[in-house]
Structure 1
Amino acid sequence: MATADASRRPGRLGVGVVGAGRVGAVLGAALRSAGHAVVGVSAVSAASLERAENLLPGVPVLEIPDIIERSELVLLAVPDDALPTLVEGLAQLGVWQAGQLVVHTSGRYGTSVLAPARAAGAIPLAIHPAMTFTGLSLDLGRLPDTMFGITAPAVVLPIAQALVVEMGAEPVVIEEESRALYHAALAHASNHLVTIAAQSAQLLADLGVQHPDRMLGPLMKASLENALSSGEGALTGPVARGDATTVSAHRAALEAHDAPDTRQAYLGMARATALRALERGVLSPGQGASILAALADRPAPGSPDQRPDARPPA
């Protein structure tokens, strides 16, 4: 982070934050720490107003057009699906300014979504933190370990890189056409990890385990660390061992338990694990066939294929 002398350095900007969500408030605070002046923030809900007050104290809460009018850099930190409509609506109001930096934090989009602002002469930048935020001040301490996926026209790419570096993070260039796949990779790793942890904790709680988090925490942390350091060479468990009878037992237990979403997730991830293990030679063809047979789709109970008098079509 920049020192207190940063405010006296040249090149400081007036920053407007549109959306005091978990990301916007934190990045606004990081840019402020780098010496930029946050001139306004938009906040509607009680939670966003509280974040603005805690992370951006003294910054006026303004209407979005007023923020854009005051800002040299507009930080758009709104949900992905809301971004195109917001940018287009503001263009119709005629509020975008020539030479103004317009920066969004969406992982899904590159700079094409900012075309209406660019048509008015604004400079489009996409900077997305590959990090999950809480919206609390502790997030600022995570930025030095965070990479940002950045996309911008080549001539202004150094500006996007400099903004990320000023926040203490590391920029990585993502091509415009690759943004959706980039975002899918991050969502798969982060969001689905939360779902898997929650599903496993629920199964343990259903069995009467008092503190599922204490049982799962060390295991999941070690697994993640091993996976990141050793890749798929860190894979353990019944699929990696080719233990089809254990996988079948898991399936039977999950089918007997009232947790259909967990069963579907387990079967899908186990199939993916088996296929990758086969491709990499961790499983022999015979072991792979046994595992995949244990995980194969089955007709739903009561379907024609399950009735005793069912016959194959002529």
Structure 2
Amino acid sequence: MTVGPRAAAAAPSAVPAAGLPPAGRAPARLRVGVIGAGRVGAVLGAALAAAGHEVVAAAGLSAASRARAARLLPGVPLVPAEEVVAAGDLVVLAVPDDTLAGLVAGLAGTGAWRLGQLAFHTSGAAGLAVLAPAEDAGVLPLALHPAMTFTGAPEDVHRLLAAPFGVTSRPEHRPVAEALVLEMGGEPWWVAEADRGLYHAALASGANHLVTLVAEAADLLRTAGVEEPARVLTPLLTAALDGALRGGDRALTGPVSRGDVGTVAAHLQTLGERAPDAVDAYVALARRTTERALAAGRLRPHEGAPLLDLLRAEEAAR
């Protein structure tokens, strides 16, 4: 995964698609349709509207999506998906990953896609292959994944400022993809088609598993009698996150980084007695931490081996 300079994406090159300008000119104003007026789709639609594009139609089935569209896309009619495609020069596909392929293929089956349209989806895991039925109909396909969490509130539009987007496109369409990201206020990062799965797994591990890890630590503190776990964890975890982002494995502290087998064994005993559901996660994370500490030179082999032996024995016992 590589990043392109922001300035390099400022002007799209000539691409034979409706609404796109010749090279060197400002991006044309596009009629935008949004399929999936959820937390992501409604926010991106609002960002495109703020950039001067016209959001002309949206699709959203749930009551929450309708309420969100009313807040973020006022006056935009909610219509069936095929009508969104018919109305838009640019179609934003912000639907769950598991429904994306079926949606694109289904719209192709009805003849909804047309030559010269642009379409981008917001899935982190999928690349261009999922848009093949639309591309076969003459659509310019893009994958633009905002690496950001969304609540669907109006302030999310401001959170897009400098937010990273994982961008995948045909090489000749890359300036167009990056220009759209910049117009929404984001920062384009290039992700090759073959790397989309790994890219998304990395983000899910970092964001989703971090929430689980913090919640687990807070629960253990409550079990230990700490009434306000957040006050204890905030300075510690803030410093740890900053250190990890700046220095990676060099920021590691704690018993594993010291090769303190006795402390880790005591943790396992205490967790087994008072929080048995937490043992498996502790063992898995401690083992991976030990492996990374060894690889980074934070632990010497003779220090890491007893830790790994202890953790493997615990796994075998369970």
TM (norm. structure 2) is 0.89
2:232 corresponding residue in structure 1: 215
Larger Rg over CA atoms:
1
Question: Deviation of residue 259 (structure 1)?
Answer: 4.2
1:35 counterpart = 2:52:
yes
Asked whether the 8 Å contact 2:38–2:68 carries over to 1, the reply is yes
Where does 1:139-154 land on structure 2 (aligned, <5 Å)? Answer: 139-154=156-171
Are residue 181 (structure 1) and residue 203 (structure 2) matched? no
1:16 paired residue number: 33
Give 1:69 deviation, angstroms.
0.5
One-letter code of the match for 1:72?
D
Q: What SS class does the counterpart of residue 283 from structure 1 fall into?
A: coil
Partner of 2:64: 47
Q: Within 5 Å, which residues of 2 pair with 1:221-232?
A: 221-232=238-249
Distance in structure 2 (CA, Å) of the matches to 1:43 and 1:257: 46
Match of 1:113 in 2: 130
Alignment of 1:22-101 (within 5 A): 22-101=39-118
Q: Deviations over 1:51-110 (max 9, x none)?
A: 111111111111111111000000000111110111111111110111110110000111
Residues 250 and 296 of structure 2 are in contact (CA less than 8 Å); yes or no, is this contact kept in structure 1?
no
Stretches of structure 2 lacking an aligned partner (at least 5 in a row): 1-25
State the match for 1:126 in structure 2. 143
- Which residue number in structure 2 is paired with residue 270 of structure 1? 286
Partner-residue secondary structure (3-state), 2:188: strand
TM-fit CA distance, 1:294? 2.1
Amino acid at match of 1:152: S
Q: Which amino acid aligns with 2:182?
A: V
Deviation at 1:300, TM superposition (A): 4.3
Gaps of 5+ in 1: 1-8, 302-314
Work out the percentage of aligned pairs sharing the same amino acid. 53
Q: What CA distance in whole angstroms lies between the structure 2 residues aligned with 1:297 and 1:214?
A: 35
Report the Cα offset of residue 184 of structure 1. Answer: 0.6
| Post-superposition offset of 1:217 | 1.8
Aligned counterparts of 1:113 and 1:227: Cα–Cα separation in 2: 35
Q: CA deviation at 1:208?
A: 2.8
Query: 2:302 is aligned with what amino acid?
Result: G
Structure 2 CA distance, aligned partners of 1:243 and 1:109?
42
User: Which moves more between the two structures, 33-42 or 201-210?
Assistant: 201-210
Report the Cα offset of residue 297 of structure 1: 4.0
- C-alpha displacement at 1:145, in angstroms? 3.0
Matched-pair contact (CA < 8 Å) for 2:127–2:168: yes
C-alpha separation in 1, matches of 2:43 and 2:169: 22
Whether the 8 Å CA contact 2:220–2:275 is kept in 1: the answer is no
User: Residues of 1 paired with 2:44 and 2:184: CA distance?
Assistant: 8
Q: Equivalents in 2 of 1:156, 1:183: separation in Å? A: 22
Counterpart of 1:202 in 2: which secondary structure?
A: helix
Q: Pairwise CA RMSD of aligned residues?
A: 1.4
Instruction: Specify which of 271, 285, 305 is matched with residue 289 of structure 1.
Output: 305
State the SS of the aligned residue for 1:148: strand
- Contact between 2:150 and 2:156, CA under 8 Å: does it hold in 1? yes
1 or 2 for the larger relative contact order (CA 8 Å, sep ≥6)? Answer: 2
Q: 1:13 to 1:259 in 2, by over 3 A?
A: farther
Give, in angstroms, the shift of residue 172 of structure 1. Answer: 1.0
**Is residue 197 of structure 1 aligned with residue 214 of structure 2?**
yes
* Cα displacement (A) at 1:219: 1.5
**Alpha-carbon separation, structure 1, partners of 2:311 and 2:254:** 15
Cα displacement (A) at 1:195: 0.7
The alignment of Structure 1 onto Structure 2 pairs a total of residues equal to 292
| Aligned-partner SS, 2:173 | helix
TM-score under structure 1 normalisation?
0.90
For 2:95, give the aligned amino acid: V
Distance, in Å, in 1 between the alignment partners of 2:107 and 2:274 is 51
